[in-house]
Amino acid sequence: MKIAVLGGTGALGSGLVKRWAAAGHAVTIGSRDAEKAAQTAAEIGGDTAGASYREAAVRADLIALTVPFNSQIEVLTLVREAAQGKILIDTTVPLVPPKVARVQLPPEGSAALRAQGFLGDGVKVVSAFQNVGAKHLHTGEPIGCDVLVSGDDVEACATVIGLVADAGLRGVRAGPLANAVAAEAMTSVLININRAFKIHEAGIRITGLHDD
């Protein structure tokens, strides 16, 4: 699959690039700085390349948005046309510094719903990867936590769950896009847990599934 990772020079984005490239996908890193994106791609290796946000989205069959919440709409504005007819994985978490350990959701209800409303019905937005510690993605080892996958298109969600597996995690269908609010809010809960127990990169695990 041809995948664009917008924000692919960051911790989460570059981790996903590494995992998906290792699984055999062609990955283009999208960034404001195309040269920095190309440098990151060269460091990762495999079938990877660097480009601007817009060019990365044009090249891709599927787009993953891995930028901070305050950059979400800015980047989506640049790629809205190129994203039409494609799946867009939104990993955005509405953290509002300095109180990132407090749940603070946007007026639209969630970042994923905001993305869908902005992009329109021509884009299949799927919410995923909010509760995965970015450091785990860089280890190259299987990760013992689950990824909640929410979206209104069943086939799009199935595609994303396949990409979650390619990244070494288990994807769990969590219902319609409106349910993305739970995964987004959970990130602030996990930040609190990290602080309280002096740990790093806490995740979630859904029990009772057949492959537990």
pLDDT digits (tens, 9 = 90+) for 67-87: 999 999 999 999 999 999 999
Percent of the chain topping pLDDT 90 = 94
Residue 16 burial (10 A CB sphere; 0-12, 13-18, 19+): buried
Q: What is the pLDDT of residues 111-162, one digit of tens each?
A: 999 999 999 999 999 999 999 999 999 998 889 899 999 999 999 999 999 9
With 0-12 / 13-18 / 19 or more C-beta atoms within 10 angstroms meaning exposed / middle / buried, residue 76 is buried
Domains in the chain (CATH in brackets) are 2-197 (3.40.50.720)
| For residues 17-27, average pLDDT | 98
Give the containing element (helix H, strand E) for 10. Answer: none
Q: So what's the pLDDT on residue 140?
A: 85
Q: Is the dihedral of CA 37, 139, 110, 189 positive or negative?
A: negative
Q: Which of 59-68, 113-122, 161-170, 194-203 has the lowest mean pLDDT?
A: 194-203
